Amino acid sequence: MKYTYYGHACFGIEVAGKHLLFDPFIRENELAKDIQIEDIQADYIFLSHGHFDHVADVVEIAKRTQATVVANFEIYTWLGKQGVDNAHPMNHGGSWRFDFGKVKMVNAIHSSELPDGSYGGNPAGFVFTTEEGNFYYAGDTALHMDMKLIPMTSGNLHFAILPIGDNFTMGIADAIIAADFVKCDRVIGVHYDTFGFIKIDQDKAKVLFAQHGKELILTDIGQTIEL
Ligand code: NI
Ligand code: MN
């Protein structure tokens, strides 16, 4: 699998020859100004919730790429009103088998309102089961006990993508516990440094993870890594 970071909580994963894009927020992210949004490939776009910093560029990218957008039912309905017809609605606890693997929508503790003020439904995370390995994207969330269900229901994770910026989501200390709950020692951090409220000390964060026998991967914006 290949992971490419586009800044904030936006990233791409290449698996089984498909391009999966998550929570697109690029044009309005000053830190991501060197990313060429027109060049981003997407066969699928996953939306964790309706907040602006997760959906800002979805309509543009979905219309250009004709990607299938996967989101909860309320966001699916909103996408239809924006002219994005190629979408797949899900809800919590449900799984669907796509051509690259299986996806389960799981709980997140956060809030969700779309940029135009419409109700965004409940925020979510996603667990992916693929032949190249399983992974979890938590979305914006607090630490919560339901994370313990993930290894019980979806098996071993190859890596977990967790928010670490604090204030709006988990911070470092809770993300380390979350990694324990999902039984995964390899964590990719997202949702940090974009705004004043979520600035972190990256070196200190990596040391704290290492002290708990875990790896925290923080990539540069635009960087691609093999996992
Ligand atoms: Ni949010
Ligand atoms: Mn957010």
Write down all domains in the chain, each with its CATH number in brackets: 2-226 (3.60.15.10)
The region that residue 96 occupies, defined by phi over 0 for left and psi between -120 and 50 for alpha, beta otherwise, is beta
- Ligand 2 centre to CA of 63 (Å) is 23
- Ligand 1 centre to CA of 51 (Å) is 5
- Ligand 1 centre to CA of 131 (Å) is 30
Please, what is the average pLDDT of the chain?
98
- Ligand 1 centre to CA of 49 (Å) is 7
Tell me the mean pLDDT in the region 75-82. Answer: 98
d(CA 58, CA 148): 30
Instruction: Give the confidence band of 109 by pLDDT, cuts at 50, 70, 90.
Output: very high
Residues, Cβ < 5 Å to ion ligand 2 = 51, 53, 140
- Ligand 1 centre to CA of 147 (Å) is 18
pTM of the model: 0.98
Tell me the mean pLDDT in the region 106-128. Answer: 98
Instruction: Give the confidence band of 215 by pLDDT, cuts at 50, 70, 90.
Output: very high
- Ligand 2 centre to CA of 52 (Å) is 8
d(CA 189, CA 103): 21
Residue 163 near residue 191 (C-beta atoms within 8 A): yes
d(CA 111, CA 98): 27
C-alpha dist (Å) from residue 72 to 101, 136, 163: 19, 17, 20
